[in-house]
């Protein structure tokens, strides 16, 4: 009889130890409640929880990568687009993460979706496409402020895709093509302006020195001679002027 009682006692002790002893990893913490009231946060390592009196809820402190489902966003200039993102956050206060909100993962996901729509809705489509880094920081700051009461730190938010409708994508492509054509025409016009200015300077220089104008005329005739021409007629006054210019005498 005594042997049976001893065996039962050993089994009871082993059972109690089995349910009482918990081992928490380095990235885990245990929020312990005693008779329904918060007691303390324990871990990592070996943790003893008294069965029937104490209950423990595990909390993972590692960074969570959460995808924000595609959201319908209406921009400030009334353009409808679909935007999805990814949020990086972690629990920094296990006590508040368990006590202040029922399910901090679901709550953060829902809050991220509404924050994404609210922040992007304040900006025009061009800003969404060209200033994505600025918008990422704005969403991250807003989300981090709202989740602080839950003991959660939002470290980063990245907008992944901004999906445009087919008609809008074609319209933007046409707009981009028109912009490239406009820039090309501006560059061409600037080149023409610079060339005309140089030609004007050259004309003024040549008009100030008649012999230079005559040499330029000869150069032009040389170019013409290379174009399948066998005979070039030089005006007599041109040759006389050149001869006088070489000898240092005034033309005439």
pTM of the model: 0.66
**Could you state, in order of their start, the residue ranges of all structural domains in the chain?**
2-60, 64-169, 207-252
- CATH class (in words) of the domain with range 64-169: alpha beta
DSSP readout, the chain?
A: -HHHHHHHHHHHHHHHHHHHEEEE-TTEEEEEEETTEEEEEE-SEEEE--TTTEEEEEEE-SPEEEEEEEEEEE-TTS-EEEEEEEEEEEES-HHHHHHS-S-HHHHHHHHHHHHHHHHHTTS-HHHHHH-HHHHHHHHHHHHHHHHGGGTEEEEEEEEEEEEPPHHHHHHHHHHHHHHHHHHHHHHHHHHHHHHHHHHHHHHHHHHH-HHHHHHHHHHHHHHHHTTT----PPPHHHHHHHHHHHHTPPP-
**Per-residue pLDDT tens digits for 114-171:** 999 999 999 988 888 889 999 999 999 999 999 999 999 999 999 998 888 666 555 5
Q: What is the pLDDT of residue 252?
A: 45
Structure confidence by residue, pLDDT tens digits, 199-237: 777 767 766 666 666 666 666 666 666 666 556 565 555
86 versus 79: the higher-pLDDT residue is 86
């Amino acid at each position: 009889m005594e042997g049976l009682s001893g065996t039962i006692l050993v089994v009871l002790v082993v059972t109690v130890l089995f349910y009482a002893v918990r081992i928490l990893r380095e990235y885990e913490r245990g929020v312990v409640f005693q008779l329904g009231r918060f007691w303390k946060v324990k871990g990592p390592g070996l943790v003893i929880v008294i069965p029937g009196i104490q209950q423990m809820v595990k909390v993972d402190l590692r960074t969570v990568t959460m995808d924000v489902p595609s959201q319908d966003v209406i921009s400030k200039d009334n353009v409808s687009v679909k935007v999805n993102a990814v949020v990086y956050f972690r629990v920094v206060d296990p006590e508040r993460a368990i006590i202040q909100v029922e399910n901090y993962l679901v709550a953060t996901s829902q809050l991220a979706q509404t924050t994404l729509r609210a922040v992007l809705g304040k900006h025009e489509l061009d800003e969404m496409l060209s200033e994505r880094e600025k918008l990422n920081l704005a969403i991250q700051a807003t989300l981090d402020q709202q989740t602080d009461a839950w003991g959660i730190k939002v470290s980063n938010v990245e907008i992944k895709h901004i999906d445009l409708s087919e008609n809008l994508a074609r319209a933007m492509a046409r707009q981009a093509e028109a912009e490239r054509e406009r820039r090309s025409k501006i560059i061409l016009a600037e080149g023409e302006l610079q060339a005309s200015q140089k030609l004007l300077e050259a004309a003024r220089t040549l008009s100030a020195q008649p012999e230079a104008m005559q040499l330029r005329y000869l150069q032009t005739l040389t170019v013409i001679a290379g174009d399948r021409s066998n005979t070039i007629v030089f005006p007599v006054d041109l040759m006389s002027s050149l001869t006088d210019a070489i000898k240092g005498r005034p033309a005439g």
